[in-house]
Chains A and B, each alone.
Chain A
Amino acid sequence: TFPGSPKWRKTHLTYRVENYTPDLPRESVDAAIEKALKVWEAVTPLTFSRLSEGEADIMISFAAGEHGDFYPFDGPGQSLAHAYPPGPGFYGDVHFDEDEKWTLGSSGINFFLVAAHELGHALGLFHSDKKESLMYPVYNFSKSPAHFRLSQDDIDGIQSLYGPHPYSGVIVVPTSSVSPRTEIPTKCDPSLSFDAVSPLRGELLFFKDRYLWRLSHWNPEPEVHLISAFWPSLPSHLDAAYEANSKDRVFIFKGTQFWAVRGSEVQAGYPKSIHTLGFPLAVRKIDAAVSDKETKKTYFFVGDQYWRFDEKRWLMDKGFPRLIRDDFPGIEPQVDAVLQAFGFFYFFHGSSQFEFDPNAKMVTHTLKSNSWLLC
């Protein structure tokens, strides 16, 4: 680590690509950076999301020669890039030398490898004297990105700052970048709870940690996937999700941010702040959300209260928040997730699920949360 071991004091970090190199298609730069971040995400509790405007924790840019930080680049070769340790302003930023020939392969300078190294600096890692380490200072293409592995020295270093990934369990899930194992939550674990649940174009998605179960009409057996397999830039451990059916959008919430996805496309201009929806600044996260297809009203659950949002006017309805127990008797806070199906609302709370009849205004069934997963 750098002298004094600077580190980020939070585990969810934002990044922004300020400009691009003409050497590579933009999408390739974006994908390489996402892949490089996943290298570190896989062995720590860190998660990352991309901003398309404004100040991010990690600002990424390409520049040649003198570029305003007293460490001018030096033309082709020698210094390829540099990055600053965690902290405010230019700290945490990553600069790539535009005078290099950036490539995706073994010729020129492989952008993914250098990005993974520099992002290690942006997270607080200094150079390693182990030649097999990603954080060794001299560029070395011996490890092709497809078979890239962090060395134990890299993992020890980053985990000395942030600890291991919460699920550094033992069940093997083949991931492209690191050998440590991650554990898929067991779908029929009786204690299973969900982070969020949402329909998507007729399917149902059940989110948990870094994974989602996908329930579709043609396959009764739920499929499990990494969230990042569909939406690489989304964080894990989500708070809430709902589908605005008429807009063909799923809105996904974590902390004070939310994203809009359309199928597998994360919409530009996101994440936005939840306060743009009309929440008071005191609200720091949403527990659960569900949108009523008929009325086009969306219900947001926070603690023991709920808000109602008008999707047509894109405005929070007046007279809210109200107490959950006043309008949903029998539903106890805190709500983990909510689903509307067959005319009922299904409230998920820990490993239990409460079927609520909005007409009778009462709980009609209590089930296990994972009953939808054929358990």
Chain B
Amino acid sequence: YPLQGSVRQEPPNMDFAQRYLEKYYNLDKIEKQMFKRKDSSPVVKKIQEMQKFLGLEMTGKLDSNTMDVMLKPRCGVPDVGGFT
């Protein structure tokens, strides 16, 4: 990918979203490294997996609808894979 002009300040959502996917959707290490380039297909897939489970439109993006649901209180048990 071409280097971006300036280092963008990651929106807080990105960190929050990464932690959410780690905690509840088994986002693994490899996917985690790729997370910052959020258009990479494994991460898009992971976001779509979450959107599908939560009954959201599967945009593959952290759109406001998706973020709204992710910010709601919820059960601490993962949605995929159970506790390790």
Contact = CB atoms under 8 A, between A and B. Distances in A.
Interface of A: 2-3, 71, 73, 77-85, 97, 100, 109, 114, 117-118, 121, 126-127, 129, 131, 137-139
Interface string B41-66: 00000000000111100000000000
Nearest to B55: A131
Given A3-B81, A85-B82, A126-B82, A79 B55 contact: no
Most chain-A CB neighbours within 10 Å: which of B72, B73, B78, B79?
B73
B77 interface: yes
A126 B82 CA distance: 8
Given A137-B24, A138-B54, A127 B72 contact: no
Contacts, number: 63
A80 B74 contact: yes
A85 B52 CA distance: 24
Given A79-B73, A79-B75, A97-B76, 4 more contacts: A80-B76, A109-B73, A138-B54, A139-B72
10 contacts: A2-B82, A71-B83, A77-B71, A79-B76, A97-B76, A109-B73, A121-B75, A129-B53, A137-B24, A138-B74
Given A3-B82, A71-B83, A77 B73 contact: yes
Contacts of A131: 55
Contacts of B79: 127, 137
A118 B82 CA distance: 14
The B interface, classified by DSSP as helix, strand, loop or mixed, is loop
Interface residues of B, number: 19
A129 B83 contact: no
A117 B73 CA distance: 13
B69 interface: yes
Nearest to A77: B73
A129 B24 CA distance: 13
A117 B54 CA distance: 16
The A interface, classified by DSSP as helix, strand, loop or mixed, is loop
Give the top 5 A-B pairs by smallest Cβ distance, nearest first: A82-B76, A79-B76, A139-B73, A138-B74, A129-B53
Contact of A80 (B24, B71, B73): B73
Contacts of B82: 2-3, 85, 126
Nearest to B52: A129
Contact of A121 (B52, B69, B71, B77): B77
Interface of B: 23-24, 52-55, 69, 71-79, 81-83
B74 A73 contact: no
B68 to A, nearest CB: 10
B73 A127 contact: no
Contacts of B81: 3
A129 B53 CA distance: 5
B74 to A, nearest CB: 5
A117 B74 CA distance: 11
Contacts of B75: 79-82, 114, 117-118, 121, 127, 137, 139
A61 to B, nearest CB: 14
Nearest to A78: B73
Contact of A137 (B52, B71, B77): B77
A66 to B, nearest CB: 13
Contacts of B77: 82-83, 121, 126-127, 137
A73 B54 contact: no
A97 B76 CA distance: 10
A97 B74 CA distance: 11
Given A117-B75, A118-B75, A129-B53, A138 B83 contact: no
Contact of B76 (A2, A81, A85, A109): A81
Contacts of B71: 77-78
